[in-house]
Amino acid sequence: MARRRYTPWSATNGLLFGMAAGVVLALAEVVLAVATGDSPMRPVRMSAGVILGPAVFSAQVPDGTALLLGVGVHLAISAVVGLFYSVLDALLPPDGRGRWEFQAAVGMLYGIFVWLVNFQFVGRGSYPWFLDVPQFPQIVLHAIFLGLPLSTLFTAAERRRLLLDAAESTPAR
């Protein structure tokens, strides 16, 4: 009988886990915007600006259009971020992939790396409005609300895979 192999670092898991972590980050971004007295649409418009450019911050772009494009761009980027994390996860030592504390540290560092690339390199060069918001809270949000959920999902998948492998290797009576 062919043995099924469950891998937590599959492309599908990377894309789906990335989008799930992206939703968590998006909600945290909106909460931060409201808490600092900004519009809840500010982070949404920042994402939509990747497609529409600086005009997204004017009254020319209705909230509905900005919401649709902003959420779409954010989820697409989050899916790619998750896909790259799945590759990173596959390179981690096998005994570390199922450990919460190890994955949490790797995930939060990865979230900081994502902030660095998106805000400091890509944003600085192409989307200067990414730098209009305070950067330290963005580092914290990306570590805790993107990297941590992403790593937690991969840890759970690895633990599930280990349980399934153990169940399959147990001889039937």
CA-closest candidate to residue 100, choices 139, 173, 58, 149: 149
Give dist(CA 4, CA 164) in Å, integer: 10
Q: Taking the CA atoms of the chain, what radius of gyration do you get in angstroms?
A: 19
Q: Which domain holds residue 48?
A: 11-160
Residue 1: the pLDDT is: 41
Query: Do the domain assignments include residue 34?
Result: yes
pLDDT of 120 over the 50 cut: yes
Residue 167 has pLDDT above 60, yes or no: yes
pTM of the model: 0.89
Burial class (CB in 10 A: 0-12, 13-18, 19+), 13: buried
Instruction: Assess if residue 172 is contained within a domain.
Output: no
Percent of the chain clearing pLDDT 90 (strictly above) = 79
Query: Of residues 164 and 84, which shows the higher confidence score?
Result: 84
**Residue 75, domain member (yes or no):** yes
What pLDDT shows up at residue 2? 47
Q: What is the pLDDT of residue 164?
A: 80
Which pLDDT belongs to residue 173? 63
What end-to-end distance do the CA atoms of the chain give, in Å? 16
What digits encode the pLDDT tens for the residues 44-65?
999 999 999 999 999 999 999 9
Say if 103 falls within a structural domain: yes
Q: Is residue 168 part of a domain?
A: no
| pLDDT at residue 172 greater than cutoff 50 | yes
Average pLDDT, stretch 138-144? 98
Does residue 150 carry a pLDDT above 60? yes
The pLDDT assigned to 170 comes to 73
The answer to the question of residue 146 being in a domain is yes
Into how many domains does the chain fold?
1
Question: Is 101 among the domain residues?
Answer: yes
Tens digit of pLDDT for each residue in 7-29?
545 889 999 999 999 999 999 99
Q: Is residue 120 domain-resident?
A: yes
